[in-house]
């Protein structure tokens, strides 16, 4: 079966070295690694935002051969920092996710509701809290309807309930056949992932099922911590 995402021997000088990664449909993959290990770089390479040597393919097609608008329909990117220069309304920023679909506004209200933003829809985005701005970017990504979702630290600014909702949203997306690759620091959330990808000093150190990959030896070597992974996110939505 054709992979949704193929990264083949990707390198970015000083940032990423010879990384290869393949993800199929229906996969929820988490990207972990210490600060500066290359997570954002890899996500930017995967999304086509950052040129790299090697190759990136979406659905088996080499990225340079995919027209820009088509890319916007197939992939959504959520940056690490939710900063907005202008005071566009929340609704209009989420609706930007439909640009590659001719600004049809389809699914915008649903994305607002899914990210708990309906009550904020008419507020200017530059008057929101950090976590609210993060949810606006996620809503815009969801509104694209793109099967390949690439999110850079989507949980970093979120409170426990919203973080859990995002994980469930990602889970729903992948159970419906989509693919999600996102970076995270809280390894306690790894239990929900199908695959965990570990970067260390710009290189891919390991990739696979979390329970097999996140061993105490690897955690000590890569993160310099003595630890043990147990399913620990013990709260749930009411």
Ligand X SMILES: Nc1ncnc2c1ncn2[C@@H]1O[C@H](COP(=O)(O)OP(=O)(O)OP(=O)(O)O)[C@@H](O)[C@H]1O
Query: Where along the sequence are the contacts to ligand X (CB under 6 A)?
Result: 14-15, 33, 35-41
The C-alpha atoms of residue 202 and residue 12 are separated, in whole angstroms, by 9
Among 214, 209, 206, smallest CA distance to 194 is for: 209
Quick one: 32 or 95, whose CB is closer to ligand X?
32
Rounded least distance, CB 34 to ligand X, Å: 7
Which residue intervals of the chain are DSSP H helices? 39-47, 68-74, 90-95, 108-114, 130-144, 160-175, 210-213, 216-223
Rounded least distance, CB 225 to ligand X, Å: 15
Measured CA to CA in angstroms, residue 105 lies from 77, 101, 120, 143, 211 at distances of: 18, 9, 17, 8, 41
Which residues lie below 8 Å from residue 156, measured CB to CB, with a gap of 6+?
Answer: 80, 134, 185
**How would DSSP label each residue in 8-61?**
EEEEETTTEEEEEEEE-TTEEEEEE-STTSSHHHHHHHHHTSS--EEEEEETTE
Rounded least distance, CB 37 to ligand X, Å: 4
Quick one: 51 or 60, whose CB is closer to ligand X?
51
Quick one: 27 or 80, whose CB is closer to ligand X?
80
Quick one: 37 or 75, whose CB is closer to ligand X?
37
For residue 112, the 8-state DSSP code is H
Rounded least distance, CB 200 to ligand X, Å: 10
Quick one: 97 or 202, whose CB is closer to ligand X?
202
Quick one: 108 or 204, whose CB is closer to ligand X?
204
The C-alpha atoms of residue 169 and residue 149 are separated, in whole angstroms, by 11
Rounded least distance, CB 36 to ligand X, Å: 4
Among 180, 175, 84, 92, smallest CA distance to 139 is for: 92
Rounded least distance, CB 199 to ligand X, Å: 6
């Amino acid at each position: 079966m054709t992979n949704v995402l193929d990264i083949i021997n990707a390198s970015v000088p000083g940032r990423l070295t010879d990384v290869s990664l393949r993800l199929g449909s229906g996969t929820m993959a988490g990207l972990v690694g210490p600060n500066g290990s290359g997570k954002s770089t890899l996500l930017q390479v995967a999304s086509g935002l950052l040129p790299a040597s090697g190759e990136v393919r979406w659905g088996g097609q080499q990225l340079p051969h995919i027209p820009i608008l088509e890319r916007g329909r197939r992939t959504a990117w959520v940056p690490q920092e939710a900063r907005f220069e202008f005071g566009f309304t929340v609704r209009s920023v989420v609706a930007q996710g439909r640009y590659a679909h001719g600004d049809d506004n389809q699914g915008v209200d649903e994305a607002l509701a899914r990210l708990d933003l309906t009550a904020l829809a008419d507020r200017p985005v530059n008057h929101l809290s950090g976590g609210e701005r993060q949810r606006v970017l996620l809503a815009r990504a969801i509104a694209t309807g793109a099967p390949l979702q690439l999110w850079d630290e989507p949980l970093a600014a979120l409170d426990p309930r919203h973080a859990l909702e995002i994980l469930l949203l990602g889970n729903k997306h992948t159970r419906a056949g989509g693919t999600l690759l996102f970076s995270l620091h809280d390894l306690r959330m790894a239990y929900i992932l199908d695959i965990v990808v570990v970067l260390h000093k710009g290189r891919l150190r390991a990739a696979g099922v979390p329970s097999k990959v996140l061993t105490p030896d690897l955690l000590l070597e890569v993160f310099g911590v003595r630890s043990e992974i147990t399913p620990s996110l013990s709260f749930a939505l009411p």
